[in-house]
């Protein structure tokens, strides 16, 4: 079994890198597991624990996605998943004009015949920055999030997506590329 997912790799642009560093600094007293910069990605489809023979079938099936053209991803507002009383994830919104949503839907459709039913959860393009374990001062946390909620937009062009294996280790996940799909 392999834990796999399809995603677009993100390279931090200067303003977003600065925002990420400032958040980590201002929220250093809180227990937040920040995503390692080399692991930043936008998940298109999470397959979870997958038998190895199905991993190969998925890798081959995803080669059918050939008509997508390179597109820009614009980083938008900072936000949280969960409530302001119980925040769980710090994330950065993505504006892509529907390209990521369309790509995610195509991936989901292609793998249905392989035994991966299309989940009914709406795709929300976002970049997870950190997972919150515990906050020492919720009003301070909310103040920091509100302070950085609107950022200067930066863009990144993407011309591929990747099928990854996620290997869980005591120090955090390690991502191994299974296949890269160029547009």
Catalytic-role residue among 17, 26, 41, 143: 41
At residue 67, the pLDDT reads: 72
10 Å CB burial of residue 148 (0-12, 13-18, 19+) is middle
Contact indicator for 52, 3 with CB cutoff of 8 Å: no
Catalytic-role residue among 26, 126, 140, 143: 126
Residue 143: active-site member: no
Residue 140: active-site member: no
Whole-number Å distance between alpha carbons of 154 and 72: 10
At residue 5, the pLDDT reads: 97
At residue 76, the pLDDT reads: 86
Q: What is the pLDDT along the chain (183 residues), one digit of tens a residue?
A: 999 999 999 988 888 899 999 999 999 999 999 999 999 999 999 999 999 999 999 999 999 997 778 999 999 899 999 988 899 999 999 987 889 999 999 999 999 999 998 877 788 899 999 999 999 999 999 999 999 988 667 899 999 999 999 999 998 899 999 999 998
Q: Which CATH class name applies to 2-182? A: alpha beta
Tokens of 138: 């919720």
Beta bridge partners of 75: 94, 154
At residue 132, the pLDDT reads: 97
> What are the distances in angstroms from CA 70 to CA 8, 57, 107?
12, 25, 16
Nearest CA to 80 out of 63, 66, 93, 96 is that of: 93
Whole-number Å distance between alpha carbons of 139 and 145: 10
At residue 152, the pLDDT reads: 63
Nearest CA to 177 out of 164, 167, 161 is that of: 164
Nearest CA to 41 out of 98, 92, 99, 96 is that of: 92
10 Å CB burial of residue 131 (0-12, 13-18, 19+) is middle
């Amino acid at each position: 079994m392999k834990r796999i997912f399809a995603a677009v790799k993100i390279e931090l642009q200067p303003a977003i890198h600065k925002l990420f560093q400032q958040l980590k600094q201002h929220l250093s007293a809180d227990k937040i597991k920040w995503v390692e910069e080399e692991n930043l990605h936008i998940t298109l489809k999470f397959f979870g624990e997958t038998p190895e023979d199905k991993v190969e079938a998925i890798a081959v099936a995803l080669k059918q996605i050939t008509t997508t053209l390179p597109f820009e991803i614009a980083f938008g507002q900072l936000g949280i998943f969960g409530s302001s009383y119980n925040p769980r994830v710090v994330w950065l919104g993505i504006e892509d004009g529907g390209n990521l949503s369309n790509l995610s839907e195509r991936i989901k459709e292609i793998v249905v015949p392989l035994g991966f039913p299309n989940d009914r959860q709406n795709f929300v393009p976002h970049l997870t920055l950190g997972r919150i374990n515990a906050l020492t001062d919720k009003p301070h946390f909310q103040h920091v999030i509100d302070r950085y909620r609107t950022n200067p937009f930066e863009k990144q062009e993407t011309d591929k997506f990747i099928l990854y294996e996620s290997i869980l280790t005591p120090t955090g996940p390690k991502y191994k590329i299974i296949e890269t799909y160029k547009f």
